[in-house]
Each structure stands twice: as C-alpha cells, then as structure tokens.
Structure 1
C-alpha cells in the first residue's frame, strides 16, 4: 500500500520539476540496475547473456568480468566485444524513458558515471557529461596520444568472430599511431582525460555557472558510495550553498536527508523504476487536467 508520505513526495517532486528554471540530473548504476541491467551482481542479465564466461572462468557478474585477469588478450576482448555489442543493441530502458518524459522540455544537463550508453540513446550528447568514460569509444592503451575512436564497428566485428570465449588475434584493436593494444574509454589506470573528456567537463561546468542564480533542481538517481565525489557530494554542496536550489535523491537503501539539507531536499529510499514511473504518470495526469481546463475555457469564451 502506498503511504501518504510517498504520494506527497511524488506530488512535490513533480511540482519542483515544473517550477525549476534548470535541472541537473546525476545518474549512476542504480538507474541501470532498476532497469534490469545489474552490472555488479549475479543477475538475470548476466546469466542470460554471459553463461559461457561463468562456465570457463567462474566469473559471476559484469563488473567482475570487466576486471578479471584473463590469460590472453583474445579472451579478454571476447568478453569486451560481446558486452559492448549488447550495450549498443539494448534499447533505452523504461527508467530512462520515464526520465526523458519528465525533463525533455526543460533546461537540463546530465552527469553520469554509467558507461552503458543508455543516456546517450535518448539525450543529446551536448547535454551529457561522462566523467568515467563510455563504451562508445576506444583509446590507445598507453595512451600515446590524445584521441578517442568510435568502437562500434570493431566491437561488432570481434563479437561476430568469437569462438569459445576467444577472438582471432588479428582482430585485437590496435592503436593507429603506435600499434599498441587499445582500451575501452572507461575509467582505468590508463583512462584518457584528454581533450574529449575535458570538453564534457567544460559543458557541465558551463551549465552550472550559467544557471547559478536560477531556481535549480538537482535530481540524483541511483548514486551509491563508490565515487561520491563525482555526483553525491557536489550535489549536496551546491544545494546547500545556493538559496534557490533543491535536491531530489532516489535510490534503494538511500540514507535519510542530512540535517544540513533539511527543507531543501527529498530523499526516497525506494525503487527508482517505480518512482520515475509514478512521477511520469502524475505529471501526465496534471498535464491532462490543464489541457481540459484550457479546452473548457475556450468553449466558454
């Protein structure tokens, strides 16, 4: 049974979205977990798609598979290619579709630690910052130069030629400059924080500055404690320091609102998919009511 507090929170969040002059969304792994793509656990997504890697190596999840020390590059790239191709082929999930409905007509920006391409399937690149990288791209593994490269064609070619969790040696991606092995452009010891990365960070910083004196709504979705310095801490600090800022924080297991943000935040320890669905339904209901009132007003006049 839905509590009155939950219903009140839904109504208040929709009101905050409608009143906001700028919205900053921080999306992390909980967004995709709520969508059925659990990157960290022994999930249905893993069992359905990667059982051969569990059988051959004892790996029990995508996060473990990403950092597993394979015996050969051919085996490592077999996993990277299969998962990368699946990410390209996976349509945007309902959590992302509902978020899109909520903010698509607003002045917004998104910062995400996710690397699964979901945000970029619905939202334009110029409105997204990816400080942890993204599986769309490869970089030199050294890196010997400051450039990233589209990954899709290479990933699909490797995935089409996997045999027993291995790819042919000649398909291992090579840097066009030094011929060294390439790496996915995602956070690692060799992650390239070059011009491409800086452009995204600058877009994010510019949006924050340009909207610093406006009524800003920060929406934090599925942000855990692994990298709190990227989204969680900055969102708290900006909400606290800006007089017209408000924070919405949604995640399973989320701690209560800290005292410093009392009256400036709503924290929901709840399923993100359900909350976003309820927010989208509530907003649609309000819009339908407004349209009905306008129609009646036209008939009277």
Structure 2
C-alpha cells in the first residue's frame, strides 16, 4: 500500500474520531462512484429505443433535449426517473458512508437528486437535497409551491410507453393553473422550493451556526465545478475561517484546493469505497 495513502487514511481516521460535527457534501461523483452512472452499459441497456430514435449519448445531455410533445417528454423522463430513483436500490457506497459517520453529529447537503442518502439510513431531517428530487413533480412555471409524489404515475408511464411515447391520458397537468408539469429539478427560475425544502435549508443553516468554530470535519464527496458555489467553495471558505476544521476531499479528477487550506486538507483520488472501508476499519 502506498505510504502516502496510509498516512492520509490515518489522518482522516483521527479527524473523524476527534470531530464534534461532520458536514457531508455530496456531488455527482459520489453517485457515479456508487454505480449510478449516466453513460455506458447502464444507459444503453435501458434506453436503446431512445438512443435509436433521438441519437442520445448519455443521460445527462438527453435531459436537455427539446421534446416536441408532452407525450415524448414524459416517456423519456418517466424511464429516467424509474431507473435512477425507483429501480436503483440502496447502494453499498452510501451504506459505507453512513456507517462512517452515524455515531457523530452530522448533516448532509447534496446536489444529488436520487435519495440515496435517505435510502442508506440518513435521517430525512439531516439531509438537504438543494437541487430537488426525482421523486416529485411540480408546476412547470412554478405557479404554486406544492410538490407531488410521482412514483405511481411514473410506473404507469413506463409500463404504457410505446414507440417512445406515453398515452395522452397520462400526461400530467398542473392542478392549479392547468399548465404542464415538470420534474422537481433546479433547471430554471421556476424551481419550486416547497415547505420541506425551506425547512431543510433552515436546518442546514442551524447546523452551520451550531458547529461554527468548533472541531468540524467537512467531507466533500465527488463535487466538481458544475455548481461549485453550493458545496466546494463554501467548504473551502469554512475550512479557512475555522482553525479547528479539517477538509476531507474525495475527488478523482479535481482534488486540489486553495493553497491556504493545504495543511488542513486531506485529499483522496483513490476509489471511494476503498477509502471509506479503510477509514472505517480504523474507527471500529
């Protein structure tokens, strides 16, 4: 085993053991490492007909496709949601992460939208899914702030999809304005932040205030630069301003941070599951 790797593992073990609070920041790289990938066999096996019809190359870019009809749009999105939210069970990586921090005061802020944190055992009031959730629909224009559970409808849509279309009878309409519906994802200015979202934000702010200037570990997990202002930059800033803070960054491609935090940052580019297991092994 690489000596430097073992040194970093030991440092991370100690930081977590001594922490009063742990703040987890989950990005797309965490779910990708857990197997929730948007390319490759997982994509081609499940979306072959859409690939043939539209020339899709991955699940990320296909989400921006300008479908001509609501029947086309919901045939795609129902299958996208079914795969990533309902067919994908609890992943081992998220379970390992929960085991690593469950005995500590912790909170999660995540840009991921597939509910893996809650599936793994994290309490719902300790998770802030700031970018939305695949499991809910909203008015496309955000005319009101209610979200609607979509599991039953999504399963009907998937079951009744023919030639990449759903029946018109299954197309959802806003119960208030009568307009189109959308997935509750932060894709434009109409993103609905319902009462639960507002409560999660307040709990997150409260966690930040409670842990301020105390012995905190910020664990940044697979966070890139698509939305750095949500997790990456705030974690860097809070580490810089707290002499007792430690930043543990797991990022295969972009581990480097600001120079001022180098002495307080433990960076890993190695396989996340291996890192979690090696840290946990020293904490039991």
Do both share a fold (TM > 0.5)? yes
| Matched residue SS, 1:16 | helix
Alignment of 1:19-34 (within 5 A): 19-34=18-33
Is residue 143 of structure 1 aligned with residue 142 of structure 2?
A: yes
User: 1:107 aligns to what?
Assistant: 105
User: 1:80 aligns to what?
Assistant: 77
User: 1:119 aligns to what?
Assistant: 117
1:272 positional shift? 2.0
- Give TM-score, length-normalised by structure 1: 0.89
Q: How many residues align?
A: 281
1:269 positional shift? 2.2
How far apart are the structure 2 equivalents of 1:53 and 1:120? 30
Is residue 279 of structure 1 aligned with residue 276 of structure 2?
A: no
1:271 positional shift? 2.5
Offset from partner CA, 1:44-72 (integer Å, 9 cap, x none): 21112112111111001111121111222
Closer, same or farther in 2 for the Cα pair 1:73/1:23, shift >3 Å? same
Conservation of the 8 A alpha-carbon contact between 1:161 and 1:168: yes
| Matched residue SS, 1:69 | coil
How far apart are the structure 2 equivalents of 1:249 and 1:270? 11
| Matched residue SS, 1:109 | strand
Is residue 59 of structure 1 aligned with residue 56 of structure 2?
A: yes
Offset from partner CA, 1:108-147 (integer Å, 9 cap, x none): 0000001122112121210001111111211111111111
User: 1:268 aligns to what?
Assistant: 268
Offset from partner CA, 1:131-190 (integer Å, 9 cap, x none): 111112111111111111112121112112111211001101111212211111111112
How far apart are the structure 1 equivalents of 2:196 and 2:182? 15
Conservation of the 8 A alpha-carbon contact between 1:247 and 1:264: yes
Offset from partner CA, 1:164-223 (integer Å, 9 cap, x none): 211001101111212211111111112113433222211111111112132110000000
Q: Which gives a bigger RCO, structure 1 or 2 (Cα 8 Å, sep 6+)?
A: 2
User: 1:206 aligns to what?
Assistant: 206
1:257 positional shift? 4.0
How far apart are the structure 2 equivalents of 1:213 and 1:239? 10
Q: If you compute each CA radius of gyration, which structure gives the higher value, 1 or 2?
A: 1
Deviates more, 1:226-235 or 1:124-133: 124-133
1:83 positional shift? 1.8
Task: Note the residue ranges of structure 2 that are not aligned, 5 or more in a row.
Answer: none
- Which of 52, 56, 69 does residue 66 from structure 2 map onto? 69
| Matched residue SS, 2:63 | helix
Structure 1 runs of 4+ off > 6 angstroms?
A: none
Q: How well do the aligned residues superpose, as a CA RMSD in angstroms?
A: 1.4
- Give TM-score, length-normalised by structure 2: 0.94
Task: Note the residue ranges of structure 1 that are not aligned, 5 or more in a row.
Answer: 288-301
Conservation of the 8 A alpha-carbon contact between 1:36 and 1:45: no
Conservation of the 8 A alpha-carbon contact between 1:257 and 1:266: no
How far apart are the structure 2 equivalents of 1:44 and 1:97? 24
